Amino acid sequence: MPRKKLIAANWKMYKTPDQTRDFFRDFLPLVSGHTRDEIVVCPPDIDLATAHGSAKGSNVAIGAQNVHWKPEGAFTGETSAAMLLALGITHVIVGHSERRQYFGETDDTVNMRLKAALEAGLTSICCVGEVLEERESGLTDDVLRRQCVRAFHTISAKKAAKLVVAYEPVWAIGTGKTATPELAAEAHAVIRREAAEVFGDEFASGLRILYGGSVKPENASSLMSQEEIDGALVGGASLDPKSFAAIVKY
């Protein structure tokens, strides 16, 4: 079965609720009737309710940028899967490199977050990717394999039904440098092989693996035309409705 591409916006720490409302006012007409791809917007938590209300009844789903592994508790600044579900949120990003780089996210906490998100039924976009020194030292495949094995630890294929992986080479995030489509496809093949080891061949052949790292309207179609690339996780270029719509319609 062909894999339906998923095009996801990661707004990072940008936009207020008013700016979120304005985005959807301008964005939804540009993608209305677009069913070829699944479209998701992941705003900061403060905007989730506004985004959900603005996108209601449309072809755009809303995701969070992080999730905690406990249902509730004394965890200041965190949000649980149950809280996201209560708001109507269907997707979540887990293990983004900025969380790993600036907020102490480890392979183990990524695993705990991912497990909780999948168990709650959230479509979970698990981010993996190497830093520049690792690529230059020929360690990319090892890093991707390690991040995948650790992230998938003790998750069954059944529980992983809503798993999506995003390959995001850290050196390409927000830098304007993009992996060539061929290079991205090679990394995706490594991830798919690792998923096959953990979850089995059938699961791996249906697993969606997104590319993220300076995706723009100008490079979206060459990336998306790679058979191994099942969509995109878009940061900077997703903040503008016209630019994100152009990527969705690559």
For position 105 contacting ligand PEP by CB under 6 A, the verdict is no
66 binds ligand PEP (CB under 6 A): no
Residue range at the interface with ligand PEP (CB under 6 A); choices 50-58, 80-88, 143-151, 230-238: 230-238
Asked if residues 42 and 79 have their Cβ atoms less than 8 Å apart, the reply is no
Q: Which one from 96, 130, 194, 228 is the annotated catalytic residue?
A: 96
Tokens encoding 163:
């798993």
> What is the C-alpha separation between 83 and 61, in angstroms, rounded?
16
231 binds ligand PEP (CB under 6 A): no
44 touches ligand PEP by CB under 6 A: no
CB of 233 to ligand PEP, least distance (A): 5
Residues from 189 through 228 that contact ligand PEP (CB under 6 A) = 212-215
Query: Measured from the CB of residue 96, what is the shortest distance to ligand PEP in angstroms?
Result: 6
Name which of 56 and 177 has its Cβ closer to ligand PEP.
177
Q: Binding string to ligand PEP for residues 122 to 161, with x set by CB under 6 A, is what?
A: ----------------------------------------
Token pair belonging to 209: 């693996």
Does 174 help bind ligand PEP (rule: CB under 6 A)?
yes
CA distance 136 to 130: 10
Q: Which residues, including other chains, have CB under 8 Å from residue 57's CB and lie 6 or more apart?
A: none
Report how many residues bind ligand PEP under the rule CB under 6 A.
14
> Is 234 a binder of ligand PEP (CB under 6 A)?
yes
Q: Long-range contacts of range 82-85, CB-CB < 8 Å, 24 or more positions apart?
A: 82/120, 84/48, 84/120, 84/122, 85/120, 85/121, 85/122
Residue in 79, 236, 245, 247 binding ligand PEP, rule: CB under 6 A: 236
**Residue 13 burial (C-beta neighbours within 10 Å; 0-12, 13-18, 19+):** exposed
**Phi, psi (deg, nearest 5) at residue 84:** -65, -45
Distance CA 101, CA 95 (A): 10
Terminal CA-CA length for the chain:
22
Q: Which is nearer to ligand PEP, 143 or 215 (CB)?
A: 215
Would you call 96 a catalytic residue per the annotation? yes
Catalytic site residue 182?
no
Token pair of 224 as six digits? 């998306």
Task: Let me know: does 90 contact 56? Beta carbons within 8 Å.
Answer: no
The yes or no reply on residue 173 touching ligand PEP (CB under 6 A) is: yes
103 is a contact residue toward ligand PEP (CB under 6 A)? no
**Positions marked catalytic:** 96, 168
**Which positions lie near ligand PEP, rule CB under 6 A?**
10, 12, 168, 173-174, 212-215, 233-237
